[in-house]
Amino acid sequence: MPSAFQRYLPFAASTTPTQAATYLLGISLFSISFLVFLNSSVSFVITDLIGQKKNVGDVVGTLGFADEIVALIACPAWGLVSDRLGVRWVATIGYLIVGLSLVVFVQASNVYPQLLLARILFALGASATATMVTAILPSLTDEDEELRNSALERARAARNSLSSARLSAAYSVESEATITPEMYSRSLSSEGRPISAGVDPQGRSGKSSVLAGYVGLFTGCGALLALSCFLPLPAKFGEIENVTPGEAVTYSYYVVGAVALLVAVFVFFGLRNVQGEEGKGWRLLLGFKGSSSDGYAYTGRTQNKVIPYLHLMMDSILLGFTDSRIALGYLGGFVARASTVAISLFVPLYINTFFIGNGFCQGSPNDPSPELKKECRQAYVLSSILTGVAQLMGLLCAPVFGYLSRHPGRVNYPVVAATVFGIVGYIIFPRLPSPEIGDVDGRGGSPAVFFVVTLLGISQIGSIVCSLGSLGKGILAVEIPRNARRQHFLAPDEDESGESEPLIRIATEEEFVSRLRLKGSIAGVYSLCGGAAILLLTKLGGLLFDKVSTGTPFYMMAGFNAVLLLATLFVDASQTFSRR
């Protein structure tokens, strides 16, 4: 990448402008835009296209529940597949499935089984696109792959010469046969800066946090695109003479589905030759060894063994228990995905239910009367405005969270701020007398609703950016191999002059473990955590929305944010006391 371009964007030197543009404008921008559109419009599909006016919350919750059941399996599976097939193919396939499913979605004439099956198909594609946001990020910011490869080649050469070297004259203290942990770390560092186990340099981890801020920015733009351009489409088509509300929804889904197919083409050509993706493809996915006869798959300049899927998954899960950065990333993903659905699904559902409860939009979906169109259009417009404001304010705050996450300090203030805003916003929103922006017919609406949804948007983008940044730091952490430690200890009475064994056995390429090889699997677990949150929120929240209170899903979100806040403060306190 040209140095001038790299100076302003936090990408590695090996990342080309085309790859950077595709990641930001293709992967990040559209990763959740189609999900936001579907979640925001699904209640209108049920009421305006299928014609069901009652128990809409339960139906929406059931569809969301099925979506996340699929995501719980598909997200880790797509992450594992990307570690062999490659992120470009997985992202492309994901957007192709999304485009097809949106067209199929509006062919349904009933909720069960037709609409349910269409939602499952959509979930399969959306899981792939969401997982690839996390999987691609480390490869575009990692500067050290070539340095690691070079160090491993030197280690291999030193190991091969070890047996003959023992018979020759005494080694130099700096020889690779007597390498020390400090020397090993120095061989993996850039410009002579040491990298110790478990400590990642500020520049490298900082880049992932800053890029996470840009990802949050473009993700917010994608959500805003969905709410400002996609969601109003039914109202626009409804203005055409003799077009019924059901037909307006159908035409809208056709347009958005076509956009998804165009994004798939863009991603396929834009993400070619991404660093760390060499050697991946259909042959490796299907178990073929390629041109190499030794059973290794090539990634970069070094050979890496083909690692079983189960081992990749177990390593990714265990990192959540051993690395606080990965753990907070997973928990942040739980809250981030739930926040996205709370804003894009339950806010429009809340508004739609409010209007239906006040006697609006009660006609048949095939009724083209102007009065019905006007009533239904008000619900579309208000949903678009409020969710749009939430996404816009989050969009503006995304770079700020990215910058502050680069150096969080002893207290992770970005996460604290995001969670506190979420707790306050989600508690206040359902307690407002009306979600309208004005007091229409004495229903009690006011512009204060803008402030409340602003809190929701900032909380959402904060959890997204901070969780991605934390995960990126954990993935890019450099680890000294477990066996890169002193293997030979002298007894108290042993003569040091007779030492003929190396102080440390050189770690070979088979022994060295880089977390970058797990980036797809970690991304899958990250999405899995988010899927679990949405699973709980959509089904339980949707059921309680109908049976108990329309505010229940929002109170659940306040609880999720409280858990993340407590976990963050606990980790910060533990790290502070451990330094003393």
Distance between CA atoms of 318 and 522, rounded to whole angstroms? 10
Q: Is 116 exposed, middle or buried (0-12, 13-18, 19+ CB in 10 A)?
A: middle
CATH number at residue 25: 1.20.1250.20
* Rg (the chain; Cα; Å): 26
Quick one: pLDDT at residue 74? 86
The predicted-structure confidence for 469-485, as pLDDT tens digits, reads as follows 787 777 766 554 444 43
Question: Is 556 part of a structural domain of the chain?
Answer: yes
Quick one: pLDDT at residue 556? 92
Give just the sign of the alpha carbon dihedral 388, 26, 345, 400. negative
Quick one: pLDDT at residue 369? 53
For residues 537-550, average pLDDT = 83
Whether 56 and 353 have beta carbons less than 8 Å apart is answered as yes
Q: In the structure encoding, which two tokens stand for residue 565, read together?
A: 């806040």
Question: Is 504 part of a structural domain of the chain?
Answer: no
For residues 492-498, average pLDDT = 45
Distance between CA atoms of 37 and 230, rounded to whole angstroms? 6
For residues 187-203, average pLDDT = 43
Confidence of residue 505 (pLDDT cuts 50, 70, 90): very low
For residues 105-128, average pLDDT = 91
Tell me what percent of the residues of the chain surpass a pLDDT of 90: 16
The predicted-structure confidence for 143-157, as pLDDT tens digits, reads as follows 555 545 555 455 555
Taking CA atoms, 527 is separated from 73, 116, 131, 446, 519, in Å, by 10, 21, 6, 37, 12
Distance between CA atoms of 526 and 544, rounded to whole angstroms? 27
Name beta bridge partners: 305.
296
Question: Is 403 part of a structural domain of the chain?
Answer: yes
Distance between CA atoms of 326 and 318, rounded to whole angstroms? 10
Name beta bridge partners: 486.
504
Q: Give the β-pairing of 296-299 and 302-305.
A: antiparallel
- Alpha-carbon torsion, ordered 454, 456, 459, 462, to 10 deg: -60
Distance between CA atoms of 231 and 241, rounded to whole angstroms? 20
Confidence of residue 566 (pLDDT cuts 50, 70, 90): very high
pTM above threshold 0.85: no
Taking CA atoms, 29 is separated from 87, 274, 383, 554, in Å, by 16, 19, 21, 26
506 CB-side CA count, 13 A: 21
Question: Is 450 part of a structural domain of the chain?
Answer: yes
For residues 386-401, average pLDDT = 83
Mean pLDDT of the chain: 74
CA angle 11, 12, 14 (to 5 degrees): 125
Q: What H or E segment, with its residue span, contains residue 368?
A: none
User: Which DSSP state fits 172?
Assistant: P
Give just the sign of the alpha carbon dihedral 376, 378, 380, 382. negative
Whether 64 and 43 have beta carbons less than 8 Å apart is answered as no
Beta strands in 369-474 (DSSP E): none
Whether 23 and 140 have beta carbons less than 8 Å apart is answered as yes
Confidence of residue 165 (pLDDT cuts 50, 70, 90): very low
39 CB-side CA count, 13 A: 31
Domain count, the chain: 1
Min mean pLDDT across 1-5, 39-43, 295-299, 338-342 is at: 295-299
Distance between CA atoms of 349 and 340, rounded to whole angstroms? 14
Is the N-terminal amide bond of 113 cis, ω within 30° of 0? yes
Question: Is 562 part of a structural domain of the chain?
Answer: yes
Write out the residue range of the structural domain in which residue 30 sits: 16-144+189-198+222-272+324-485+519-578
Whether 378 and 443 have beta carbons less than 8 Å apart is answered as no
Report whether pLDDT(52) > 90: no
The predicted-structure confidence for 335-369, as pLDDT tens digits, reads as follows 988 888 888 788 888 888 888 777 766 555 555 55
Question: Is 529 part of a structural domain of the chain?
Answer: yes
For residues 237-261, average pLDDT = 88
Task: Identify the three-state secondary structure at position 446.
Answer: coil
More confident residue, 9 or 416: 416
Cβ atoms within 10 A of the Cβ of 124, count? 21
More confident residue, 109 or 377: 109
Report whether pLDDT(178) > 80: no
Cβ atoms within 10 A of the Cβ of 187, count? 18
Task: Identify the three-state secondary structure at position 161.
Answer: coil
Report whether pLDDT(393) > 80: yes
70 CB-side CA count, 13 A: 19
Taking CA atoms, 427 is separated from 337, 417, 553, in Å, by 18, 16, 10
Name beta bridge partners: 303.
298
The predicted-structure confidence for 301-335, as pLDDT tens digits, reads as follows 444 455 666 777 787 788 878 888 888 888 888 99
Distance between CA atoms of 35 and 343, rounded to whole angstroms? 11
